[in-house]
Amino acid sequence: MSRPTAIVLAAPGTNRDHDVSYALQLAGAAPRIVLLAELVADPGVLRQAQMLVLAGGFSYADALGAGRMWSLELSHGIGDALTGFVAEGKPVIGICNGFQVLTGTGLLPGALGHNASGHFQCEWVRLDAPAGHCIWTHDLDPFECPIAHGEGRYVHSDPAALAAAGQVALRYAGRNPNGSVDDIAGVCDPTGVVLGLMPHPENHVIHRQTARRGMQPSPGLGLALFERGVRYAQER
Amino acid sequence: MASGVRLTIRSKGADPRSAGLVADAHALGLTSVTAIDVADIVFFESELPAVHRAELEAVLVHPLLQEATWDVPAHGIETALLPGVTDPAAAAVELAMQTVGLPSVGVATGKHFDVLGHLSTTELASIARRLLANQVIERWALAPIDAHFIDADATADVTVDHVPIRALDDDALQALSRERGLSLDLAELQAIAVHYRGVGREPTDVELETLAQTWSEHCSHKTFRALITTETGDAITPLLRQLRDTTDAIDAPFVRSSFVGNAGIVSYVAGTTIAVKAETHNHPSAIEPFGGSNTGVGGVIRDVMGAAHHPIAITDILCFGPTDLAADDLPEGVLHPRLVESGVIAGVADYGNKIGLPTVAGAVLYDPGYVANPLVYAGCIGVAAETAPLPGPQPGDLVVVIGGRTGRDGLRGATFSSATMDATTGDVAGASVQIGDPIIEKLVIDAMAECHGLYTAVTDCGAGGLSSAVGEMAEGVGADVDVTLAPLKYPGLRPWEIWLSEAQERMVFAVPPAKWQAMHDVCARHGVEATSLGTFTGDGVLRVRAGEVTVLELDTGFLHDGRPQRSMTAQLPTPRRGDADAPVCADPAATLLALLAHPNIASKERVIRRYDHEIRGATVVRPLVGAERDGHADGVVLAAPADEHGLAIGIGVNPWFGLADAEYMARAVVDEAIRNVVAVGADPDRVVLLDNFSWGDPRRPSTLGELVMAVQGCCEAAAAHAAPFVSGKDSLNNEYLGSDGQRHAVPPTLVITAIAHVPQAAHAVTPDLKLPGSVLVQVGDTRVEFAGSHYELLHGDTHGVVPAPVDAAPARYRGLHEALRSGRVLSCHDLSEGGLAVALAEMAIAGRLGVLIDQLPHRDPTAALFSESNARFVCELMPDDLAWFIDCVGEPITVLGEVTGAEFQMPGWSVPLEQLRLAFAGGPE
């Protein structure tokens, strides 16, 4: 099957665009890093792609709040193209800063506030995928990967309704690192094709990246999540 | 603010900054503070119609997270940036207004604080002054504060002064140096006066400042190049020469470039080179901890970029005063170590995390000697495809500056960092503080990745700014530049200010005219400003103009070689050496717990977790390892996901050895850095070293004598291990002139960074215990060596000796490497601070497993447990592998015992594992 084209969108200050490109490559996609300014200049580029990925980082230094400037640029620059992409049912994923941006544009519900600790945290977490209809996490086994963020505390006014709607895509298992409501690590849109998550599955795609050396490799790789998205893009 | 408006934005629920501020206030002795609420202020220069206000609120205030008011508060303390200080938040607001189509208006930002608790006006002012406002970059006032806006209409100022120097006598020359903060000594001033008598005119202010920067200790390493004579009249080879000679003698085939350019360059794998560099940013961090460490990280990353390499990782070594220092013991004009620590760590985290590089290896040390002079070392590693070396600027090439804009930030940083600090330093050195913008530097990295082949030379703008970058590149070639072409943050800078500014995130390139358009286009695509300031000429003269007015004309020969060599006198120390008696430890269990809780040994998890060490997915051995990922690794291993091989980074530092025996300290810390990389799986025959000295004033003969012996120790150690030094940096004059009239110098602090090749990253090893029933061995022998040990820091002087170098170490490391490379060694840990007892405890804590030790490696149990002899490791092995391991590594090897469940059992005493963990983690005993 041919590799679906995945646009990895990079804004000034995104910095995990190469990491997520590597993960997409392993998962069977053909990733291409595109600068936000280039996409704004030619939104038609988006139409050629099968997947859209918003990478992690500190777009615009997170001035005014994490992802705030990037979501403004997106909404004002390619708002229509983005809405059209989602309406076509093409998979979209926003990781870390990308998640913050997707909530800022209104494509995903809720918001991300400062961690309860008050500062940036880099540590490994275990994630569970609750039953739901997110195409990225449906039937996904628990897996481990790092978090690396200062503003990852998920806030939502009615998390129970979100869960009932099947939009809670990932939960922190065991320790909730940042005070997110209902242990929520990732949410999807009502259609299940747009996923936003704070952790970095792209940093656990080969066993050598496992958190503990010299022991049996941990079973769940973050790669599985990307494989689901790629397969969906191939099969839809 | 006559006509403007302001929006005050606060978090719904607790602001994350509040808790830290309260804790800091308590640490300063202001215990009646109960809460400090924080809000952000955005100032607009003119009145805004209601519809614009509503649009701005929609952009700036997230309804789920924040609430905001346009009302002006009547109470509280407010801070705003001083004029000329970069305000990135304001720039973001302006960009947002532009994006949503609002008309342009001047913007500034500030903070609002409500301090709660029973506080007098004096106490409130004290909190504002010492905690809320960093007066180096901010001012404070009772609410409402007035904001300063950038004066966009200020006119360019091309004023150039001539400074009469030719007729000055010695006293007047020294007075001039003091007045202008030149930090030049008499011989240097005389050389300048003689030079201008020959030229037949007075120097311009631009020329004088350029000479002061170029000839500063920071830029020209006067001490490391000085003619040194001992008090008995023996001549000593200049220190830098000794280090270079040592590297030349080792003649390692993997060294591509050492001690020239911005970084050392090495190739362990055909087709790929790595650039390595470590720097200090001590003085700036002392007065503005966040900005100081922030730009220290940014600066060392640019060093690697200036070597035309792509940065892949950052290191940091931090030295602070005790964070529990009583407020009364704080010298005048000095920030409390607690504030220095939190600011420095936040500064490192901010730059590294935002630029997207893993901050991987480091150390945090605490000692009373660092109260007034904290030390901040930052290192960077980069990679590049191996290419022919850049040819250097050719006549006709353009002088191109790319990246950040130039402002008044960081003026005279190099001369400032070469001076002694005193109580007023924070006030007068305000302009020396640079402000970092990691996003700009990230964009410059991205642009540079696409600029291969478009330039003939590159260097970064560091200390001395354009004067030093262009001045160095123009050496022998000459250049003609117009400083008024440089993009400015705001108008009104004088020519010398533009030329000397240390504004961050700028790189200078020599670009052939035929390549300029291509380079410009790449930069534009990444949103990076690129400007041609002039040309490299070929006449050997450095010429700087402000438009048509020549403001500097200097022969590059005089600029770079005209400084008279300094002559200095060293008084060599006579350290205690030889045999010593071991102290008697009455309660080894209590000593072990106290060692684990000692700030130098205790867990650094709270620091390390503030840094992203996962980005790039290449951190194979992380700084935190083990069952619960809370043990310290010896070194880190980096390997790109697609690569089989990797790099190990290890750090060696021990100022307490340095106080007792500078030469053996150097030998020990080189050994430690190499031990650390070998312990994680690196090849001991493929190691390079960086040296970074932070020392007191070398004009004091005893201080210089210690430096001489430390350099000698470095050279001996490098030769013994065939591990060449490829780059180094010295930061001298780390002294504080107290109001008591006494000079307080930092302890001799040599940081050695080892960067080594790991042939198989998949076989990298960590120190956490893995398997109950496995066997524990000590590699290497223990001697009675307690001077400078952490046992001594706890229990007082033992009249001991500093650990002596071990001749057998290189062969031992080769044997151990063969064993580790086989993949059969379960865990490996080097022995350093706290000796065997601490090493075993760290392995047990990290693996959440116990030990049963029935044999010690020395007949004296205190020496066996706590002596800090060099060249030792503990390894965990499958029982069947013991004979093979001994055969591989060679004697001396002591079979210590085995790995068990939850008890730390030593001969004659034991401690529950959980108790050790709590001591290490800083919990209750």
The dihedral sign for the CA sequence A112, A118, A124, A125: negative
pLDDT in tens, A144-187: 999 999 999 999 999 999 999 999 999 999 999 999 999 999 99
User: String of b and e for B846-857 (b: at least 16 CB within 10 Å)?
Assistant: bbbbbbbbeebb
pLDDT band with cut points at 50, 70 and 90 for residue A189: very high
> Which pLDDT value is given to residue B924?
45
Task: Inform me whether the pLDDT recorded for A128 exceeds 80.
Answer: yes
Residue, of A228 and B430, whose pLDDT is higher: A228
pLDDT band with cut points at 50, 70 and 90 for residue A135: very high
User: Measured between alpha carbons, how far is B649 from B380 in angstroms, rounded to an integer?
Assistant: 11
List the B272-280 sheet strands across, edge first.
B255-257, B264-269, B272-280, B375-385, B310-320, B359-366
Q: Say how many C-beta atoms besides its own lie within 10 A of residue B6's C-beta.
A: 22
User: Measured between alpha carbons, how far is B602 from B608 in angstroms, rounded to an integer?
Assistant: 13
Q: Say how many C-beta atoms besides its own lie within 10 A of residue A137's C-beta.
A: 27
Q: Tell the residue number behind the tokens 């909730």, with chain if given.
A: A176
User: Measured between alpha carbons, how far is A38 from A28 in angstroms, rounded to an integer?
Assistant: 25
User: Measured between alpha carbons, how far is B439 from B583 in angstroms, rounded to an integer?
Assistant: 54
Of B19, B95, B621, the CB nearest to A69: B95
ipTM of the complex: 0.97
**In this complex, is the C-beta atom of A69 within 8 Å of any C-beta atom belonging to chain B?**
yes
Single out the catalytic residue among B218, B520, B560, B744. Answer: B218
> Which pLDDT value is given to residue A170?
98
Angle (nearest 5°) at CA B525 between B519 and B528: 75
Whole-model pTM: value is 0.95
**In this complex, is the C-beta atom of B823 within 8 Å of any C-beta atom belonging to chain A?**
no
Q: What's chain B's average pLDDT? A: 93
User: Measured between alpha carbons, how far is B870 from B883 in angstroms, rounded to an integer?
Assistant: 24
Rg (CA), chain B: 28
Q: Find all residues with CB under 8 Å of B171, minimum gap 6, and list them.
A: none
Asked if B281 is an active-site residue, the reply is yes
Q: For residue B169, with 0-12 CB atoms within 10 Å meaning exposed, 13-18 middle and 19 or more buried, which class applies? A: exposed
In the beta sheet, which residues pair with residue B266?
A: B255, B274
Minimum distance, in Å, between the CA of residue B868 and any CA atom of chain A: 27
User: Measured between alpha carbons, how far is A151 from A117 in angstroms, rounded to an integer?
Assistant: 10
> Which pLDDT value is given to residue B652?
98
The 8-class DSSP code of residue B397 comes to: -
- Contact by Cβ (8 Å): A204, A223: yes
- Determine whether the interchain pair B610/A61 forms a contact, defined as Cβ–Cβ distance below 8 Å: no
Rg (CA), chain A: 16
User: Measured between alpha carbons, how far is B347 from B436 in angstroms, rounded to an integer?
Assistant: 9
Instruction: Residue A110: list chain B partners with CB under 8 A.
Output: 64
Residue, of A227 and A216, whose pLDDT is higher: A227
Minimum distance, in Å, between the CA of residue A236 and any CA atom of chain B: 31
pLDDT mean over A54-80? 91
**In this complex, is the C-beta atom of A41 within 8 Å of any C-beta atom belonging to chain B?**
no
Length of chain B in residues, anyone? 925
Instruction: Name the stretches of chain B with pLDDT < 50.
Output: 1, 424-430, 924-925
**In this complex, is the C-beta atom of B761 within 8 Å of any C-beta atom belonging to chain A?**
yes
> Which pLDDT value is given to residue B432?
53
- Contact by Cβ (8 Å): B511, B400: yes
> Which pLDDT value is given to residue B46?
92
For residue B480, what is the enclosing H or E element? Answer: strand B479-482
The 8-class DSSP code of residue B269 comes to: E
- Contact by Cβ (8 Å): B766, B679: no
Instruction: Residue A148: list chain B partners with CB under 8 A.
Output: 353, 612, 614-615
Joined tokens for residue B281: 């940013």
- Contact by Cβ (8 Å): A203, B358: no
- Contact by Cβ (8 Å): B312, B755: no
Look at residues B694, B626, B631 and name the one whose alpha carbon lies nearest to residue B662. B694
- Contact by Cβ (8 Å): B45, B146: no
Instruction: Residue A120: list chain B partners with CB under 8 A.
Output: 349, 353, 610-612
> Which pLDDT value is given to residue B421?
56
Q: Say how many C-beta atoms besides its own lie within 10 A of residue B201's C-beta.
A: 11
- Determine whether the interchain pair A213/B765 forms a contact, defined as Cβ–Cβ distance below 8 Å: yes
Q: Say how many C-beta atoms besides its own lie within 10 A of residue B899's C-beta.
A: 23
The dihedral sign for the CA sequence B674, B679, B684, B689: negative
Q: Say how many C-beta atoms besides its own lie within 10 A of residue B719's C-beta.
A: 15
User: Measured between alpha carbons, how far is B526 from B533 in angstroms, rounded to an integer?
Assistant: 20
Single out the catalytic residue among B281, B283, B336, B598. Answer: B281
Q: For residue B878, with 0-12 CB atoms within 10 Å meaning exposed, 13-18 middle and 19 or more buried, which class applies? A: middle
Distances from the Cα of B268 to the Cα of B153, B252, B261, B616, B645, angstroms: 55, 11, 20, 20, 10
- Determine whether the interchain pair B65/A155 forms a contact, defined as Cβ–Cβ distance below 8 Å: yes
> Which pLDDT value is given to residue B139?
92
User: Measured between alpha carbons, how far is B639 from A66 in angstroms, rounded to an integer?
Assistant: 30
> Which pLDDT value is given to residue B435?
75
Q: Find all residues with CB under 8 Å of A41, minimum gap 6, and list them.
A: none
> Which pLDDT value is given to residue B19?
85
**In this complex, is the C-beta atom of B762 within 8 Å of any C-beta atom belonging to chain A?**
yes
- Contact by Cβ (8 Å): B925, B919: yes
User: Measured between alpha carbons, how far is A230 from B14 in angstroms, rounded to an integer?
Assistant: 41
- Determine whether the interchain pair B353/A209 forms a contact, defined as Cβ–Cβ distance below 8 Å: no
- Max CA pair span of chain B: 84
pLDDT mean over A13-21? 97
Look at residues A76, A126, A85 and name the one whose alpha carbon lies nearest to residue A105. A76
- Contact by Cβ (8 Å): A205, A223: yes
Distances from the Cα of A197 to the Cα of A67, A149, B205, angstroms: 13, 11, 56
- Report chain A's terminal Cα–Cα distance, integer Å: 13
Decide the pairing of beta strands A5-10 and A51-54.
parallel
Decide the pairing of beta strands B138-142 and B66-69.
unpaired
Minimum distance, in Å, between the CA of residue A113 and any CA atom of chain B: 6
DSSP annotation string for B342-360: HHHHHHHHHHHHHHT--EE
> Which pLDDT value is given to residue B925?
37
User: Where are any strands of DSSP class E within B585-723?
Assistant: 619-621, 624-625, 631-632, 636-638, 646-652, 687-694
C-alpha B12, offset from chain centre: 36
User: Measured between alpha carbons, how far is B68 from B432 in angstroms, rounded to an integer?
Assistant: 35
- Contact by Cβ (8 Å): B736, B748: no
User: Where are any strands of DSSP class E within B135-288?
Assistant: 138-142, 227-230, 235-236, 255-257, 264-269, 272-280
Asked if A122 is an active-site residue, the reply is no
> Which pLDDT value is given to residue B643?
95
- Contact by Cβ (8 Å): B464, B502: yes
- Determine whether the interchain pair A76/B622 forms a contact, defined as Cβ–Cβ distance below 8 Å: no
- Determine whether the interchain pair B762/A208 forms a contact, defined as Cβ–Cβ distance below 8 Å: yes
